[in-house]
């Protein structure tokens, strides 16, 4: 699609990694260190490379030319200044034109999603399916910008101590502990979920 092509061109222009989600499958045009880290550290499936081979010549296929429906792109780079001061403003200026939205899960990762898609929407749909009122029955935990809407929507939104300012601003409560220091467990015990097993 055009939205994928625009994001892919921007990634190429700034020499940053890009990964596309198609259901449970991930695709990329190159397995870089940061793309591999997505698999080894975060447990995401290893992205498949898109290429064609004809008479011994390997040609990379652009993500935008891949047939299935890609519903999420990650633009990633360890140079967070480049990602946030150069790439993000350009992505945001293109977002409304291409029916997309930009958010961030990590300082090294921008998310390019269809407009209106968010964790808040996903949690809202799940609550609707389960017959739960999120404004009176939901405890939400988060630490990143892409968690902010979910934290605002929940009856109790809790940001982790290591959370970004946007997540902390959206939360009703901020733990002293980070997510790596058991902040989620502290929040669950504090708000009445201690001692239960899931």
CB atoms within 10 A of CB 116: 9
The answer to whether 16 and 76 are in contact (CB under 8 A) is yes
**Each residue's pLDDT expressed in tens, for the chain with a length of 198 residues:** 688 889 989 999 999 999 999 888 999 988 999 999 999 999 999 998 876 667 666 666 677 666 657 789 999 999 999 999 999 999 999 998 998 999 999 999 999 999 999 999 999 999 999 999 999 999 999 999 999 999 999 999 999 999 999 999 999 999 999 989 999 999 999 998 765 544
The answer to whether 167 and 131 are in contact (CB under 8 A) is no
The answer to whether 5 and 64 are in contact (CB under 8 A) is yes
- Please say which residue of 114, 137, 169 terminates a domain: 114
Residues 135 and 92 both lie in one domain: no
Residue 196 belongs to some domain of the structure: no
The answer to whether 83 and 16 are in contact (CB under 8 A) is yes
The residue written with tokens 């017959």 in the block is: 131
User: What CATH number is associated with residue 15?
Assistant: 3.30.1240.10
Residue 195 belongs to some domain of the structure: no
- Please say which residue of 79, 114, 149 terminates a domain: 114
Residue 197 belongs to some domain of the structure: no
For 186, the 3-state DSSP assignment is helix
Residues 22 and 110 both lie in one domain: yes
CA distance 91 to 151: 24
Residue 100 belongs to some domain of the structure: yes
Nearest CA to 135 among 157, 118, 115, 113?
157
Residue 182 belongs to domain spanning: 119-190
Residues 80 and 129 both lie in one domain: no
User: What CATH number is associated with residue 175?
Assistant: 3.40.50.1000
Q: Which helix (H) or strand (E) holds 41?
A: none
Residues 107 and 124 both lie in one domain: no
Residue 78 belongs to some domain of the structure: yes
């Amino acid at each position: 699609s055009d939205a994928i092509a625009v994001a892919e061109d921007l990634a190429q222009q700034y020499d940053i990694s890009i990964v596309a989600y198609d259901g449970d499958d991930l695709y990329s045009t190159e397995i870089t260190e940061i793309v591999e880290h997505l698999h080894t550290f975060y447990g995401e499936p290893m992205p498949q490379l898109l290429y064609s081979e004809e008479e011994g010549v390997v040609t990379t296929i652009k993500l935008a030319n891949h047939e299935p429906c890609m519903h999420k792109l990650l633009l990633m780079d360890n140079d967070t200044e480049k990602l946030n001061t150069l790439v993000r403003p350009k992505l945001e200026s293109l977002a409304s034109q291409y029916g997309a939205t930009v958010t961030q899960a990590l300082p090294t990762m921008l998310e390019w999603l269809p407009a209106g898609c968010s964790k808040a929407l996903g949690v809202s749909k799940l609550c609707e399916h389960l017959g739960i009122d999120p404004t009176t029955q939901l405890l939400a935990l988060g630490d990143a910008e892409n968690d902010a809407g979910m934290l605002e929507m929940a009856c109790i939104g809790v940001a982790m101590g290591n959370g970004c300012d946007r997540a902390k601003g959206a939360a009703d409560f901020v733990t002293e502990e980070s997510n790596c220091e058991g902040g989620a467990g502290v929040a669950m015990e504090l708000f009445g979920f201690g001692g239960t097993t899931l």
